[in-house]
Amino acid sequence: MRQLAQLEGIFCGVSSGGAVAGVLRIAADNPGSLVVAIICDRGDRYISTRVFN
């Protein structure tokens, strides 16, 4: 989720970050395929935690 925020400007939560991490692994194992992840939560609830430090 930190990389999504820093590199892509997608401010998401932990579950969406995990979904994207999984999709990237699947896509790496299946070149040329279309793999989709749904970003279904926001990162604002994690601002007060140490996740974005």
For the chain, 53 residues long, give each residue's pLDDT as a single digit of tens.
888 988 999 988 888 999 999 999 999 999 999 999 999 888 877 777 776 66
pLDDT at 43: 80
pLDDT at 29: 97
pLDDT at 50: 73
Which pTM value belongs to this model? Answer: 0.77
Domain ranges of the chain: 2-52
pLDDT at 21: 94
pLDDT at 32: 95
For CA atoms 19, 13, 41, 9, give the dihedral sign: negative
Joined tokens for residue 50: 């140490």
Select from 25, 1, 24, 5 the least CA-distant residue to 14. Answer: 1
What's phi and psi for 26, nearest 5 deg? -65, -45
